[in-house]
Amino acid sequence: MRKQPLNIQSITLGLITSGALITVLNFNSVTSFAKERYLDLQLFAKVLNYVQQYYVEEVDTKKLIYGGIKGMLKELDPHTNFLPPEIYKEFESETSGEFGGLGIEITLQDGVLTVISPIEDTPAWKAGLKAGDKVVEVNGESTKGLSLVEAAQRMKGKKGSVVKLGIFREGFESPQVFSIKRGTVRIRSVKYTDLQEGYVYLRLTSFIENTAKDLKRFIKDHKKKHKELKGMIIDLRRNPGGLLEQAVQISDLFLEKGTIVSTIGRNKKEKEVLYAKKPGTYEHFPIVIIIDEYSASASEILAGALQDNKRALIMGQRSFGKGSVQSVVKLGDGSGLKLTVARYYTPRGRSIQSEGIVPDVVVDNFNQEVLKKAKVKRRVKREKDIKGHLLGEKEAKKKSSKSSIDFWWAQDSSSSKKAKQPHEELLSEDFQVMQAYNYLRAWDKIQGFTTTK
């Protein structure tokens, strides 16, 4: 999750001014904390001086300082990183929707570089990388001990060049090498499928600068076509997150009031809360959100906001649990510091960090092999299949209107060759989407039930 870069000039000025006041007014009463910090800095400076003067070979001072900063940040969480100038420049372009690279979101799990999700339609996706893959080598070199930034730097390169990733996956006996050709990554963050009869399926692959805008455009086009919107499925599976503001904007589209998300940093009394506003809110049609164990960060904020405000039913698997806030500070030499500054909380005060979002309805995502085995291979006989059965009213009317010649041999043949529509393909191939669709269609009936004591 990323916020806008902070203005380092104003921060530096504030520190200098504050420090000057303390020096003038309280020079003889410096706190023990400040003394301890000063002694630690003295120690660092002394070691640096010894290395510069007596190391067996001449050293690059900037390289030593950068290394010292990286070592310091390794003591913190894996999302806090130092970004050298060349990496910070690339980082600034990653949320625009187009950048060079592989199209892969990675994290550190138990010290192992792990794929959160390959972004759809990118080189990594097309090469067959999957969520949960462990990246153990980059171009033959081990990733053990690398930070996220260092690993990302090794994976990046010129457009058209090839990077070889050693991947270990459940079911592999040993790591396998995936050769991926680097390319320009153009992210299409919203994908639309018309489920017919007023229902819509929207898949969000990430949260970039135009995600909310594209989502509104698809909804507008759908309503123009069908005159109504009876229900919506929002698919956040394998969505690694992105921009906070986009998750907030999309949440606000479906909420008239209430909290969307809150953040709390080191000072528990300083709580930042973002609220929904009524203008621009869509009418109250039912929504089902699908999540899985790779739905992270902004995905969890959207799911948590609609779940706690009772605006959507959450279905699928518990989400990833990335609920920390990172602010990016641009430093004087063009480098940057990505620093974890707070935790995210859902409207009901639940921490997302390490906990994730627990779905209202748990539904496993069966793969195609399981679904094929589960399908009934033979046709079940019913009353209407018995020769000489008593005709039903609809059946009798249909028979009287048909030609006396029944081309029974052609019907099965033509129906078996009939191509499936996009929504039919989606529903038949994706078990979780099919279950979400069934819930949407039954929504009004379920709400109409009454209970008695």
Give the catalytic positions in this structure.
297, 308, 322
Tell me the three state secondary structure of residue 122.
Answer: coil
The residue count for the chain: 453
Q: What would the two tokens of residue 25 be? A: 């007014």
Cβ proximity of 201 and 233 under 8 Å: yes
Cα separation, 63 vs 69, whole angstroms: 10
* Residue 429: partners with Cβ closer than 8 Å, 6 or more residues away: 368, 371
CA distances to 106, 149, 157, 254, 337 from 154, rounded to whole Å, are: 13, 9, 8, 41, 19
Residues 265 and 321 sit within 8 Å (Cβ to Cβ): no
Inter-CA distances, 35 with 28, 32, 42, 345, Å: 12, 5, 10, 36
Distances (CA, A) of 320 to 198, 231, 239, 314, 429: 32, 26, 10, 14, 24
CA distance to 145, 187, 234, 287, 434, per residue, from 423 (Å): 45, 22, 14, 17, 10
d(CA 282, CA 4): 28
Q: Which of 261, 211, 262 is nearest to 239 (CA)?
A: 211
| Rounded Cα gap, residues 283 and 303, in angstroms | 18
Tokens found for residue 434:
């099919």
Q: Give CA–CA dist 363/436, Å, rounded.
A: 9
HSE, side-chain direction, 13 A CA sphere, residue 320: 28
User: Which residues are registered as beta bridge partners of 329?
Assistant: 6, 337
Residue whose pair of structure tokens reads 């980082």 in the numeric block: 91
Chain centroid to Cα 451, Å, comes to: 39
